[in-house]
Amino acid sequence: MRLKKWYKYIFGNNSILREEDFLQFFKNYEQALKELLSNKNATNVEILKNTKDKLKDCFLPEEWPRNILNFSSVKDKKIWLGQDSVVFEFQNVSWRIYKEWQKANKENLEYIIKKYKVLKKYLWNLIPDSYFIIWEAYEKFFKRWFKNGAYIQSKLITIQRKVKWKDLTKFKKEEKLNKDFLQKLEIAHRSYILLKIFIEQIANKLQVKDKLDIKLDLGLLSKIDKWEFSNPEFVLKHLISPNIMYDGKNIYFIDFWFWSWNQDKEKVYQELIKEENYKKWQAILNNSKLY
C-alpha cells in the first residue's frame, strides 16, 4: 500500500523514518562540526584526532535506517555498485532490495513511475513489483569521518521485490547454454522488442517529437532486435548483464532507468493506458505465438 502524505510517500505502516528524528540528528551533527572547524588554531590532524570524541553523540546508532526507509539499516549489505546507483539488500526484509540513485529530481520520479506502469502492464511477470520515492538525503550520511562535511542531495530510491537466484554475471557456462533458459530469454527479449515497436507506432501516429523511451539496461540486448541464441560463442560473450535475472522458471528485467517527463511523453502514455490499445497488444502477442 502506498499513500501520499503531503510530499512524502508512505509504504505500509511506520515504514518511513520520522522526519523530526532525521532532521534532529543532522542539527546536532552540524553544530558539533561547526564548533570543531571554528577553531582556526587547530591543525587538520588535531581536528581529525578529536572528531570521534566530539561527534560521538551525533553518530546514528546501528539500528537506525540507512536512508528515509524505516526498514532499512546501516548494516544492509551492498550487492551492486553501478555508475549512478548503489543496490542494497535489506537486513530486516528478505523479500525486498532497494537502489539509491545518486542524482534525481521530481521529473525523473514521474518518468520512472509511468515508465514502470507501462512495462508492468505490457510485459507482466518480466518486471518485478517495484515502488519509487524521492527524498533529500545527506550524501555522506553514515561515514564516521567527515572531512568536508555532509551535503544535501536529492535521491531517487527504488524498492523492488527481490528475485531469488541470480543474474547473468553469476551464471556458469553450462547454465548460460541451458536450452530452457535460452528459449525463455529469447521470448522475453522478443516481447520487449515488440513493445518498443508498438510504442513507436503510437508515437508516430500522435506525431510527437519526444517519444516515450522504455529502454531497459540489458547490455547488448538493449541494442539489437535479434540475437543468436543458438550460437554458444555469442551467448557466452554477450549474455553478461547484471540486470537480467532468472529464478529457474522466469526471466526478469530489473533495471528501468529514467529521464525527464514532458507533454509529448504524457500523450503517448495516455494512449498506452487505454484498454483498446492494450487489446491490440494482446493480439500482437497472439499472432507472434510467443506465449
**pLDDT at residue 117, rounded to an integer:** 95
Structural domain count, the chain: 2
Tell me: do 252 and 146 sit in the same domain: no
pTM of the model: 0.79
**pLDDT at residue 7, rounded to an integer:** 37
Which of helix, strand or coil describes residue 81?
strand
Tell me: do 197 and 277 sit in the same domain: yes
What is the rounded CA–CA span in Å between residue 105 and residue 212? 18
Per residue in 72-92, pLDDT tens?
Answer: 887 889 988 877 888 999 988
111 within a domain of the structure (yes/no): no
Which residues does 23 contact at the CB level (< 8 Å), separation at least 6?
none
| pLDDT band per the 50, 70, 90 thresholds, residue 102 | confident
* Phi, psi values for residue 100, rounded to 5°: -100, 115
Per residue in 188-229, pLDDT tens?
Answer: 999 999 999 999 999 999 999 888 889 898 989 988 888 888
116 within a domain of the structure (yes/no): no
Tell me: do 35 and 70 sit in the same domain: yes
**pLDDT at residue 55, rounded to an integer:** 63
Which of helix, strand or coil describes residue 40?
coil
Tell me: do 195 and 157 sit in the same domain: no
Cell numbers for 237, please give them.
Answer: 560473450
**pLDDT at residue 149, rounded to an integer:** 47
Low-confidence winner among 118-122, 124-128, 143-147 (lowest mean pLDDT): 143-147
**pLDDT at residue 56, rounded to an integer:** 64
**pLDDT at residue 228, rounded to an integer:** 83
138 within a domain of the structure (yes/no): yes
Tell me: do 144 and 209 sit in the same domain: no
Among 110, 142, 161, identify where a domain stops.
Answer: 161
Tell me the average pLDDT across 150-171: 82
**pLDDT at residue 226, rounded to an integer:** 83
- Considering only residues 163 and 44, tell me which one the structure prediction assigns the higher pLDDT: 163
Per residue in 236-265, pLDDT tens?
Answer: 999 999 999 999 999 999 988 878 899 999
Among 111, 140, 161, identify where a domain stops.
Answer: 161
113 within a domain of the structure (yes/no): no
Among 120, 146, 161, identify where a domain stops.
Answer: 161
Tell me: do 88 and 172 sit in the same domain: no
Cell numbers for 20, please give them.
Answer: 523530526
**Quick check: 13 pLDDT over 70?**
no
- What's the mean per-residue pLDDT of the chain? 81
What is the rounded CA–CA span in Å between residue 115 and residue 1? 19
Which residues does 98 contact at the CB level (< 8 Å), separation at least 6?
67, 69, 72, 87, 88, 90, 157, 158, 159, 160
**Quick check: 66 pLDDT over 90?**
no
Q: Give which of 100, 96, 130, 98 is closest to 114, Cα–Cα.
A: 130
User: Does residue 24 contact residue 57 with C-beta atoms inside 8 Å?
Assistant: no
Tell me: do 173 and 82 sit in the same domain: no
122 within a domain of the structure (yes/no): no
Q: Which residue range(s) make up the domain with 207?
A: 166-288
30 within a domain of the structure (yes/no): yes
N residues, the chain: 291
Tell me the average pLDDT across 128-144: 69
**pLDDT at residue 38, rounded to an integer:** 76
184 within a domain of the structure (yes/no): yes
Tell me: do 185 and 94 sit in the same domain: no
Tell me: do 148 and 187 sit in the same domain: no
Tell me: do 217 and 240 sit in the same domain: yes
Tell me: do 191 and 148 sit in the same domain: no
Tell me: do 133 and 203 sit in the same domain: no
108 within a domain of the structure (yes/no): no
